[in-house]
Amino acid sequence: MTQFSSDVEAVDALAQSYRDLKNEIGKVIVGQHEVVQAVIISLFSNGHSLLVGVPGLAKTLLVSTIAEVLDLDFKRIQFTPDLMPSDITGSEVLGEDRHFKFNKGPLFANIVLADEINRTPPKTQAALLEAMQERSVTVAGMRHVLPTPFFVLATQNPIEQEGTYPLPEAQLDRFMFNIPLDYPSYEEEIAVVKGTTGAVNYELKHILTGEQILFYQQLLRKIPIADNVLEYAVNLATKTRPHTTRATDMVNQYLSWGAGPRASQYLVLGAKCHAAIHGKYSPDIEDVRAIAKYVLRHRIVRNYKAEAEGISEEKVIESLV
């Protein structure tokens, strides 16, 4: 691990690492710049992310590419209706010496892709979400600590809702970011098809190690934030709570539930990281605004009136920001 003479120098190194990561990921992933930035911010902030998009938008490729350039252990879990908690956490098995030993499940990796998390029953979802929160799993009364860094990136398909188990709001709150993926532009799709139907193989370089990521996660917490910016972040979260003193008319009209204190924490952490990767040594209000939609969109609950009038979560957040 490189030693830095000051935190300022370390922040400069973080910004350079982000540029190197983005360039390396860009060799494989065409476009999706905001998505790549959001995933990297949540990783540096020690948070998990939920990717929401239709099939075929390279969600799995994006995650495996990020894992490769970060030189991290990567596992993919395809969530299905018959998946059991022990299938992801691991289980006790009887060895040849007649003693039980723990067989680690796919959760024991640095980056875990939980594909179609809403396809599996609540019991298995809860096992994953417990691991996200505690950074450990408990099997047969024994606690097993997960490797560090540990980062879960879950995907959801917003179209096929038949036969799914939507995540409850309390469990959605465990995710730092909710990142929507959209179709590529016409030009981007041309580039994707050219790159994926030819014989080109990209050799990706390892940009960061797990040790460096842990260092940057600690560094972000040392970055100072002005009181007015912190107050803006907290104010933004509290404004989403209907029928409270700070709630706006639009919130009172269209929301049945607002964001909790965890949203305020993630707004501040995300703003610090957004500032750092863009070469700033302290976040400003623009940094909070830049990541607000990712933090808030899965933490606010629309009421029937909003659904009837077609008022989306994004529209409510835009009115607040």
CATH no. for residue 166? 3.40.50.300
Taking 60 as the threshold, does the pLDDT of residue 308 lie above it?
A: yes
Structure tokens at 267: 């707004």
Structure tokens at 87: 């299938």
3-13 mean pLDDT: 75
Higher pLDDT, 2 or 221: 221
Range of the domain at 304: 224-320
Structure tokens at 27: 């060799």
55-72 mean pLDDT: 79
186-206 mean pLDDT: 73
Taking 60 as the threshold, does the pLDDT of residue 2 lie above it?
A: no
- Of the chain, the percentage scoring pLDDT greater than 90 comes to 12
Q: Apex CA 58: angle with CA 162 and CA 195, to 5°?
A: 145
User: Of 170, 185, 210, which residue constitutes the final position of a domain?
Assistant: 210
Higher pLDDT, 49 or 120: 49
Taking 60 as the threshold, does the pLDDT of residue 163 lie above it?
A: no
Higher pLDDT, 144 or 261: 261
Q: Which residues contact 220 (CB under 8 A, 6 or more apart)?
A: 44, 45, 269, 272, 273, 276
Going by the DSSP 8-state scheme, the letter that residue 81 receives in this structure is T
Highest mean pLDDT among 56-60, 130-134, 235-239: 235-239
Taking 70 as the threshold, does the pLDDT of residue 198 lie above it?
A: no
202-219 mean pLDDT: 83
* CA dihedral (236, 242, 244, 245) positive or negative: positive
184 and 257 housed in the same domain: no
Q: Is 268 exposed, middle or buried (0-12, 13-18, 19+ CB in 10 A)?
A: buried
Higher pLDDT, 230 or 313: 230
Distance CA(131)–CA(124), nearest Å, equals 11
Total domains in the chain come to: 2
Note whether 211 and 72 are within 8 A (CB): no
30 and 177 housed in the same domain: yes
Distance CA(111)–CA(65), nearest Å, equals 11
- Of the chain, the percentage scoring pLDDT greater than 70 comes to 92
194 and 312 housed in the same domain: no
Beta-strand pair 111-115/74-78: parallel
Higher pLDDT, 197 or 284: 284
Q: Look at residue 218 and tell me if it is in a domain.
A: no
User: Of 149, 177, 210, which residue constitutes the final position of a domain?
Assistant: 210
Max Cα distance, the chain (Å): 68
Taking 70 as the threshold, does the pLDDT of residue 93 lie above it?
A: yes
Strand segments (E) across the chain: 49-52, 74-78, 90-94, 100-104, 111-115, 136-139, 142-145, 151-156, 177-180, 255-257, 301-302
Highest mean pLDDT among 97-106, 117-126, 288-297: 288-297
- SS3 label, residue 14: helix
pTM higher than 0.75: yes
Going by the DSSP 8-state scheme, the letter that residue 199 receives in this structure is S
Q: How does residue 3 score in pLDDT terms, banded at 50, 70 and 90?
A: low
Distance CA(258)–CA(301), nearest Å, equals 6
Higher pLDDT, 55 or 305: 305
129 and 35 housed in the same domain: yes
User: Of 210, 238, 269, which residue constitutes the final position of a domain?
Assistant: 210
Note whether 72 and 39 are within 8 A (CB): no
Q: How does residue 200 score in pLDDT terms, banded at 50, 70 and 90?
A: low
Q: Look at residue 216 and tell me if it is in a domain.
A: no
Q: What is the predicted pLDDT for the residue at 160?
A: 59
Mean pLDDT across the chain:
83
Count how many Cα atoms sit within 13 Å of the Cα of residue 282 in the half-sphere of its side chain. 7
